[in-house]
Structure 1
């Protein structure tokens, strides 16, 4: 019986993975607490917690993949996975929406208010222009990050990756596994190149432009938005790399490949967020 025709909703048995993962997360939390308080054990404990969680998730996901490959996940489970992924992406939209809102508020509401007549009474030398080093002039001078050339190159890379992942999806739906593998490999490669360029951009910002996370509201919004997006590119690339490995192993068919679809949805979300970032952070 194929997985799509399984008539029941598969419920797995008792699992040790949630408890094991929770132990790693607790260790990570205590480790980070010690790390920020400059203890000798904080850093090693935090790193050990991360390794523990990754090890636990590796086996947890492995069990889930095995359940899918043995036909236990029927249509009902597939629908649950789709709704879960959709709500997860919605939560990510809200996450980035908060940072975009902070950028909009600081630039379009707080900045004019500080430059108003009332603001001039407190800070007579303040000029309400973006970017800004703050009303007290305590922030070291920095240069802004323009759209040329790295951000524009990265935009082309992510747009190209959206094309390659779509090509891979259509190939998989036509049961052309080899073409799907090529498209996935190209997508993962483009994501990796994107991260390399972003790393170089950060190096350039810190060492040549004087632009840091502490460079006022401009620096904090710039690095929070671009940094969290880069982290999501890493996560999306990791998802696609795992999907690539599974495609090479022969786990997917034209009818049964939601793991690929979920990763592709996430990658398209990452692409769209970057387009908003490219306009709001680098051009405006």
Structure 2
């Protein structure tokens, strides 16, 4: 039996996938493996890996899982495998090259995110520099079943209350498979739908598309992966483009911290 050509992405390189050129060859299939034994990981092990990746390992066994895991992408021919390998090398170069002018944070609830928006606007930061993303609260019930695909719908039919939606113009709803409706507001609305729509092939096996949407918005890949996990839990993501808003990043950090924002980091728990 002839072995199919494949390429293995180490678990710690996972965020580089969000920087792949959109024309990269798509694998026939992908599977999480132990790189040392070449054996497939169980679904429960994959879930543990993705929930804890880029956070401080809580135990030696989780640390070992992070170090030994890999995503194997199997291709139809060697040419596609080699083209993908070259594209991935380029994607890794872009992984940590995002602009430092985008300040980000996550909030535990809508009220604290609204407070942050008020503080930002009160400091003369323009609304078109601010972006938000959050799961719409009325869909967080355990028995909710998301529809297939993704689309923009009338925000009035989806968001209960509308306080945070009213804070900014241009709010849209994306139906993301595996997550449900996710609301985006501000600068994110111009690119969010196309970002989610391009999440196919190997990227689709690693994330819902939220992280892809955030990396397209100049959030660095590791932070985007962590923020996706928080949005899935029902928390609210907020970013400020300090170039567009003509504001000082340190000042924005201070305002977001005052409102209760937490920033992705490598400390235990993942946020500071």
Q: TM-score, normalised by structure 1?
A: 0.27
Q: Does 1 or 2 have the higher relative contact order (CA < 8 Å, sep 6+)?
A: 2
Q: TM-score, normalised by structure 2?
A: 0.28
Q: If each structure's strand is expressed as a fraction of its own residues, which one has the higher value? A: 2
Q: If each structure's helix is expressed as a fraction of its own residues, which one has the higher value? A: 1
